[in-house]
Amino acid sequence: MSQEVENIKVTETGTVNAPETAKTETETGSKNSPAEASSFSPPTIYSETVGHVGGFEIRNTLLMSWISVLFLCIVAWRFSRKYMESAVPTGFQNLVETVIEGLYDFFHSVTQDTKQTKQFFGVCATIFFFVVVSNWFGIFPGVGPIGIWEVEEGHKILVPLFRSTFSDVNMTLAIAFISVFMTQVYGMMNLKFGGYWGKFFVNPLRDPIGFAVGLLELVSEFSKIISFSFRLYGNIFAGEVLLAVIGFLAPYLAPFPFYGLELFVGLIQGLVFSLLTLVFFKMGSTGHGEHDEVAHTSDPSRDAPAGVQKHAVTAS
């Protein structure tokens, strides 16, 4: 009889205390959620999933890259229309032509070869514009603060709907793969298959030093992927963290100078990435010993204006 009474008391205690416990947890959660929502949450080193298409995850950095690509396609489409309609550049067409011509002349000053400049310009210019536009879009208002509230490990966190494209190392890794892969392609196109890979694989019996140097060059070719990836990723992610911290500590006037700094950094990163890619293309398309041969056999009047070429021919 006493055992039955104790069971009833335990049951009653459990039924009475369970709602009170749940109520206490609910009240605690409701009281803590505003504090959690208003607390500072730094950007993560990885991108977040914002949706799915079947089994394919759509990341916020991938979504931002699509927006950048769409913007560049619209600009190219509008420029092509203006170019077909009018032979005399005005307004927007004049701006685009000025940028492209300036970039072409800059690349040509590096290659010093008209054929190679035309060959490399498409890939290098595409990388430049994509990196710059993606970096600038990453500091637009709404990129970062606008997102979806989710509960992770009992904490309420904001998952940004948009993030800077290259704040995810996978994006920089993809661009680095393209750069290194096209270096091999252009090298084999200009030096042929045997001439290009012959730089890396040398007979150790004939030239042991050349054999060691070739292996080091082969390792350096693939180490470019790592250096390329983390150079761009580190700069962009650091800028994202900087803007988040300054915006949290002084959200009104203090971030403006840093926005200007990020605009400059975004431009420089695009220029550095495309310029290094161009240098790698040039080095990959140049065989061992060609630098000295070109220096001795090149004609200094070849790329000179017509008047200068005429005087050179007369003098000879």
CB atoms inside a 10 Å sphere around CB 175: 21
Domain membership of residue 35 (yes or no) is no
Residue 235 CA to residue 269 CA, distance in Å, equals: 8
Q: What is the pLDDT of residue 224?
A: 86
Domain membership of residue 202 (yes or no) is yes
Q: What is the pLDDT of residue 288?
A: 62
Q: The tokens of 229 are what? A: 């990836």
Residue of 223, 196, 198 lying closest to 210 (CA atoms): 198
- Please provide the average confidence, as pLDDT, over all residues in the chain: 76
Residue 167 CA to residue 59 CA, distance in Å, equals: 12
Domain membership of residue 154 (yes or no) is yes
Domain membership of residue 303 (yes or no) is no
pLDDT digits (tens, 9 = 90+) for 39-93: 666 677 777 888 888 888 888 889 989 999 999 999 888 888 777 777 676 777 8
Q: In this structure, which amino acid lies at residue 114?
A: T
Rounded to two decimals, the pTM is 0.72
**Residue-number span of the structural domain to which 208 is assigned:** 49-287
Residues 6+ apart with CB under 8 A from 254: 246
Residue 309 CA to residue 170 CA, distance in Å, equals: 50
pLDDT digits (tens, 9 = 90+) for 170-200: 888 999 999 999 999 999 998 888 888 888 8
Domain membership of residue 42 (yes or no) is no
Domain membership of residue 294 (yes or no) is no
Q: Ranked by mean pLDDT, which of 22-31, 126-135, 160-169 comes out on top? A: 126-135
Q: What is the pLDDT of residue 262?
A: 85
- Any bridge partners for residue 49, and if so which? 59
Domain membership of residue 92 (yes or no) is yes
pLDDT digits (tens, 9 = 90+) for 112-162: 989 999 999 999 999 999 999 998 998 887 787 777 777 777 777 777 888
Residue 281 CA to residue 131 CA, distance in Å, equals: 18
User: HSE (CB half, 13 Å, CA atoms) of 240?
Assistant: 30
pLDDT level of residue 289 (50, 70, 90 thresholds): low
**Percent of the chain surpassing pLDDT 70:** 77
Residue 1 has pLDDT above 60, yes or no: no
Q: What is the pLDDT of residue 40?
A: 63
pLDDT digits (tens, 9 = 90+) for 255-287: 888 888 888 988 998 999 999 999 999 988 887
Residue 146 CA to residue 275 CA, distance in Å, equals: 34
Q: How far apart are the first and last CA of the chain?
A: 127
Residue 15 CA to residue 278 CA, distance in Å, equals: 74
Domain count, the chain: 1
Q: What is the pLDDT of residue 39?
A: 60
Tokens 């759509």 sit on residue? 58
Tokens 């929502």 sit on residue? 37
Domain membership of residue 316 (yes or no) is no
User: SS3 for the chain, per residue?
Assistant: CHHHHHHHHHHHHHHHHHHHHHHHHHHHHHHHHHHHHHCCCCCCCCCCEEEEECCEEEEHHHHHHHHHHHHHHHHHHHHHHHHHHCCCCCCHHHHHHHHHHHHHHHHHHHHCCHHHHHHHHHHHHHHHHHHHHHHHHCCCCCCCCCEEEEEECCEEEEEECCCCHHHCHHHHHHHHHHHHHHHHHHHHHHHHHHHHHCCCCCCCCCCHHHHHHHHHHHHHHHHHHHHHHHHHHHHHHHHHHHHHHHHHHCCCCCHHHHHHHHHHHHHHHHHHHHHHHHHHHHHHCCCCCHHHHHHHHCCCCCCCCHHHHHHHHHHC
